[in-house]
Structure 1
Amino acid sequence: MTNFNKEDLIGLVGRQLVYTFNNGWKYEIYVKNENTVDYRIHSGIVGNRWVKDQGVDIFQVANAVYKLSWTEPTGTDVSLIINLGDQLVHGTIFFPRWVVNNPEKTVCFQNEHLEKIEAYREAGPTYPTEVINQFASIIFSRDCGVNNEEVINCVASELPSNFPENLK
């Protein structure tokens, strides 16, 4: 018997998080609503990629611990466990081979290039996939409200040099 409601997402929905993985990759996610996230990748093999309105499955798996999962148009599968209590993220990313071989093809505002990205995905290759399992520390967190289109609205390289400190 649990002492939390697995469908209760009030602690996560509307929250913007910036986190750095142990391998140095820096990511940002905004949980726009119960079904959608926006995200921006600051560094890593696909640094400067950004996405709005990515469909996502979200569940609470323990008190203040949430699991988010989605499949991108690239064919990349992502699973995040966000532990707000300990300010920790665990991410598993399943990159198709074409993304690993040519990550620069995905570095864009995805929403404006869906047909091209889907064509790259279909051309492949898909296998072997590259699985990345990493812990990350949450370095910034704030409540931005639900469906706020201003939270993630540009590529990471256009942000001030003191981001996210400039938001505090």
Structure 2
Amino acid sequence: MIFKDLSDFLGTHFIYTYDNGWEYEWYAKNDHTVDYRIHGGMVAGRWVKDQQADIVKLTDGVFKVTWTEPTGTDVALDFMPNENKMHGTIFFPKWVQDKPEITVCFQNEHLDLMKESREKYETYPKYLVPEFAQITYIGKAGLDNKDVIAEAPYAGMTNDIREGKYFDANYHRLKK
């Protein structure tokens, strides 16, 4: 599949591994919303649905996605799917670096805890993580597919997805 315009990018599901070894799964749900699961790194086990984001095409085949999480973490991702590359910059507040376990949950069910922690603990200095990543999976899930990010991450999940053991031909979960 070749990516050129935003319409090619939206509805796409990615798995990528940063050069530091952290593995993420990310879905461009629609033109203003993303879902994701974190499989490796300091907040492995965290997953989020319906995160509001700014999603734009920078040039043919290159897309930028930015958002601020309820934790106070800022994220900027540059996708170059035609080259299976991505660059992400994550700006973790000091409290997330110091107490990452608070964020390792299904965030949507713990928004009050995220906001409370953001107010209670130190924000600065931010922990900056700028990393290139290799995209290891690209799937066309379609827009607003509730099955893409619908359960907590588990060991081996990304391999199940890459090996075709997680979604059927219509991009719905095989096991519910």
TM-score, normalised on structure 1? 0.92
Q: Indicate yes or no: 2:54 matched with 1:57.
A: yes
Structure 2: distance between partners of 1:135 and 1:163: 24
Deviation of 1:73 after TM superposition, in Å, equals: 0.2
Matched with 2:21 is 24
Structure 2 unaligned spans of 5+: 166-176
What SS does structure 2 have at the residue aligned with 1:167? coil
Is 1:97 the counterpart of 2:94 in the alignment?
A: yes
Q: Is the counterpart of residue 114 in structure 1 residue 111 in structure 2?
A: yes
Residue 14 (1) aligns with residue 23 (2): no
Distance 1:155 1:81, change over 3 A: same
Aligned residues: 162
Q: Is the partner of 1:10 in helix, strand or coil? A: helix
CA–CA distance in structure 2, aligned partners of residues 114 and 57 of structure 1: 20
2:142 maps to a residue whose letter is G
Moved over 6 A (4+): none
SS in 1 for 2:8: coil
**Counterparts of 1:148 and 1:109, CA distance in 2:** 18
* Aligned CA distance change for structure 1 residues 160 and 47 (closer, same or farther; 3 Å): closer
The code of the aligned residue for 2:17 comes to T
Matches of residues 1-168 of structure 1 in structure 2 within 5 Å?
8-157=5-154, 160=157, 162-167=159-164
TM-score (norm 2): 0.88
In 1, Cα distance between equivalents of 2:158 and 2:120 = 37
Q: Deviations over 1:31-84 (max 9, x none)?
A: 000000000000100001000000000111111100000000000000000001
Q: What is the alpha-carbon distance in structure 2 between the residues aligned to residue 159 and residue 150 of structure 1? A: 18
Identity %: 47
RMSD: 1.5
